[in-house]
Chain A
Amino acid sequence: MLAAGSLDQFGHDPWWLVLVKIVGIFAFLVVMTLFTIWYERRVVAYMQHRPGPNRNGPFGLLQSLADGLKLGLKEEIIPKMADKVVYFIAPVISATCAFTAFAVMPLGPSVSWFGHHSPIQLTDVPVAVLLILACSSMGVYGVVLAGWASGSTYPLLGGLRSSAQMISYEVAMGLSIVAVFVESGSMSTSEIVDAQAHGNAINLFGWHTTGPSWYAILLIPSFLIYFVSAVGETNRAPFDLPEAESELVGGFHTEYSSFKFAMFFLAEYINMVTVSGLCTTLFLGGWRAPAPITTVWAGANSGWWPVLWFTIKVLLLLFVFVWLRGTLPRLRYDQFMRFGWKALIPINLVWILVLSGLRTLQRASLETNIKLFIAAAVIVVLGAVWVLWPAKEKPATPTGLEGLDPAGRVGGAEGFPVPPLNLEVPPSPRAPRLTAEREPVPVGSAGGDSSATEQEGR
């Protein structure tokens, strides 16, 4: 399944090549950040039927560059109550961790760098995916310390929210990656990409075919859970509770200005690019071109072209981020936590269990029919349990006005009056007078007659 010893191609670069790759990654990330800010504003603008930034440069592409320069030249304000050292370190931690995570991102196969053959990837280690997780868990420190060191209430609340949020969603994120480890048999990013190069041969009752190679299709629950937790991990809408601007002003970076704020801004967008890049690597086949391109054009997976496929996939995922922001309202905090701990993590654990069971069954030296029989038996037993599980009876709660006093008072006749709960217009206080003035209508008379009588009565 794996390319033999593919990790051996790393670690032999001369120092100048390492430097070139580091500068290249830095430039890639900064340009991606500038582009993503413009991209996000344009896409959101399109979704809201307005033009978006379109003045500076072609299609407004230079808008974020201008904004960034202006941000860097602004006055720096440090609050009096701030803890100076920690206040300074926090944005540095955020930005550094964001940049570091990209070191193990595979952007392409081995190519010639001025005559030296090396992959388009800074380095790879047997536990490269863990390095990305470690970087994201260290990145939380930037946010939390920024909130604490500002010496102000809203940033502190934002920092607390974000630490709880990012720790919770890291658990779901880590678990969703486990399925990929099980399926590919590796934690190194380049080997995971290699493992998705070719689909497995499937033999279904004598019908030979090739299964899908992308883990996004093979492991679709993991893919969905990964993406949801990635949105939570990057503090993006609808999970942007740490910087909920309607509740916390700006969240953890309320007190930051000028270049330090720019570092947080940069870190947020780089984190988005990183989680999208990791999603591409783990689930969408990495830098490899999707199927229709490779069938038409054999050279699509060699040379520098893979960087293009990778970038396109990342941009499509970023589009989904923006789409979510443009569509969904922010979650309430308890709903958000309940979703993470009570939905994502249990579903993930059950899915890993099912997957491991399937893998064990596949490897077992049994005949195909017996394997299928075992799988069917498990499904039937689970289905029977689900159908026959005693349903929990809900106690009947009085709805509407049943629990109320006839006079519309809560807590009996001496209770407190409440407004009508059924949205009926209460009878006018003048109604008794009007009724008294009105002549009694004979019962059973026709509609026209009654109105005539009423008019006569007046």
Chain B
Amino acid sequence: MTQQLVLAAASDAMKGGEATAFWILAPIAVLCAIGMVAARNAVHSALFLVVTMMCLGVFYIVQAGPFIGFAQIIVYTGAIMMLFLFVLMLVGRDASDSLIETLRGQRMAAIILGIGFAGLVGTGLFRALGTVDSVGLASANSKRGGNVQGLAELLFTRYVFAFEVTSALLITAAVGAMLLAHIERRKEDRKTQVELMRERFAPGSYPAPKPGPGVFATSDSVATPAKLPDGTPTDRSVFKILPTRELTSAEAAPKGTEK
């Protein structure tokens, strides 16, 4: 299978399975990329990006790079986008971007510049790659006995310094972000249970749980305010959402006891 992949990628024209995969997945990837920008809901946007990334992963695999393809799927879609989704879910499902322009004409300018940039990059790439065949792909893949082995050799011999420096940088960044975000109170500054209790019973705060609806009341309706021990009704016991209304004497009378 690998060798077929290598051969398929190495030959100059796309054909067979590679072409089929490309023409099915490429439109999906592009549509989802557009959908990612256009979607109102942040989670939908993230999901479109996931589909685009998965399509890219499959393209890598078809291009005789199975390791990088699966790494793309595991690392980018499996871990990084999952963290994005995690944060989006914490923010809330109904949070969507406000569409009010803060800079006038910003959206129009962005669209024009974006299309222009895409055209520039597209034509440049087309001119550069249109007549170029992949050279030495098969030999590079088979040199060390496989794609993975070849990558491993390059990473751990020629690029080992860059690799280690990058990982050190990423770890430093992660630890730094954690230190900046993490607040650790000193033991002396932390409120003890005694202090919390003193605050709770201090004048001005109500220590007990709020009275439930219908407590000490003449009716069991949730709209009936509870009475405090001194006999005054308290509004705290009635939900804000309930309309205020007075019960008529017929409504307030005990039911089912007419005999």
Contacts and interface: CB of A to CB of B under 8 A. Distances in A.
Interface stretch (B65-73, B102-110, B232-240): B65-73
B8 to A, nearest CB: 11
B248 to A, nearest CB: 34
Interface stretch (A33-41, A155-163, A444-452): A155-163
A137 B67 contact: no
A86 interface: yes
Contacts of A8: 3
Contacts, number: 88
Interface string B207-241: 00000000000000000000000000000000000
B86 A134 contact: no
Contacts of A167: 78-79, 82-83
A141 B70 contact: no
B77 interface: yes
Given A134-B78, A187-B148, A83 B93 contact: yes
A131 interface: yes
Nearest to A159: B89
Given A83-B93, A160-B90, A138 B47 contact: no
Which of the four size classes fits the interface of chain B?
Answer: 20 to 34
Given A124-B1, A126-B2, A126-B66, A151 B82 contact: no
Contacts of B83: 167
A interface: dominant SS: helix
Contacts of B90: 160
Given A125-B2, A163-B86, A137 B74 contact: yes
Interface string A408-425: 001100011000000000
A7 B6 CA distance: 14
B94 to A, nearest CB: 9
A130 B73 CA distance: 10
B1 A125 contact: yes
Nearest to B44: A86
B183 interface: no
Contacts of A233: none
B70 to A, nearest CB: 4
Nearest to B92: A156
Nearest to A124: B1
Contact of B73 (A134, A160, A187): A134
B4 interface: yes
Nearest to B77: A138
B13 interface: no
Given A7-B1, A126-B147, A127-B148, A416 B197 contact: yes
Interface of A: 7-8, 10-11, 83, 86, 123-127, 130-131, 133-134, 137-138, 140-141, 144-145, 147-148, 151, 156, 159-160, 163-164, 167, 170, 187, 410-411, 415-416
Interface of B: 1-4, 41, 43-44, 47, 50, 54, 66-67, 70-71, 73-74, 77-79, 82-83, 85-86, 89-90, 93, 146-148, 193-194, 197
**Which 5 residue pairs spanning A and B have beta carbons closest together?**
A137-B78, A11-B1, A130-B70, A411-B194, A134-B73
